[in-house]
């Protein structure tokens, strides 16, 4: 089993303890393949923006060949409107790096690990 399975995050902290009273959202975006150079150019701005926000999880989506195909971020926000504003303000979004994106409320379920070192 890989690290991070179940309730234990890679840092060894309980994922359930990280979830607050606000709704949790899943942001998923598909990379426009013609915008790879633009993505690389503004990546530092995107990372700096996201670092300020305290995401629960996130990172690039990778295709079978290992190349970036999009992004995924799990975060908390007070409402759908606040979550949309956050997504629309991301440098990747404002620069048009993505061909499309979705935002869904995520009903996070925390469960106990049944296998591995933390069982």
pLDDT by residue, tens only, the chain of 119 residues:
333 333 333 333 444 455 567 899 999 999 999 999 999 999 999 999 999 988 999 999 999 999 999 999 999 999 999 999 999 999 999 999 999 999 999 887 776 666 666 55
**What is the pLDDT, as a whole number, of residue 13?**
41
- The pLDDT of residue 93 is 95
What is the reported pLDDT for 76?
93
Class of the 15-106 domain?
alpha beta
Q: Give whole-number Cα distances, 93 to 26, 28, 31, 37, 112, in Å.
A: 15, 11, 10, 15, 36
What residues does each domain of the chain span? 15-106
């Amino acid at each position: 089993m890989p690290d991070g399975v179940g309730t234990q995050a890679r840092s060894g902290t309980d994922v359930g303890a990280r979830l607050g009273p606000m709704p949790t959202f899943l942001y998923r975006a598909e990379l426009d393949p013609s915008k790879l150079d633009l993505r690389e150019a503004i990546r530092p701005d995107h990372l700096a923006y996201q670092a300020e926000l305290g995401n629960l999880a996130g990172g690039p989506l990778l295709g079978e060949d290992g190349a970036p195909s999009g992004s995924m971020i799990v975060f908390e926000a007070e409402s759908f409107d606040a979550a949309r504003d956050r997504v629309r303000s991301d440098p990747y979004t404002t620069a048009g790096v993505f061909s499309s994106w979705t935002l869904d409320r995520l009903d996070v379920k925390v469960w106990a690990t049944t296998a591995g070192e933390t069982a």
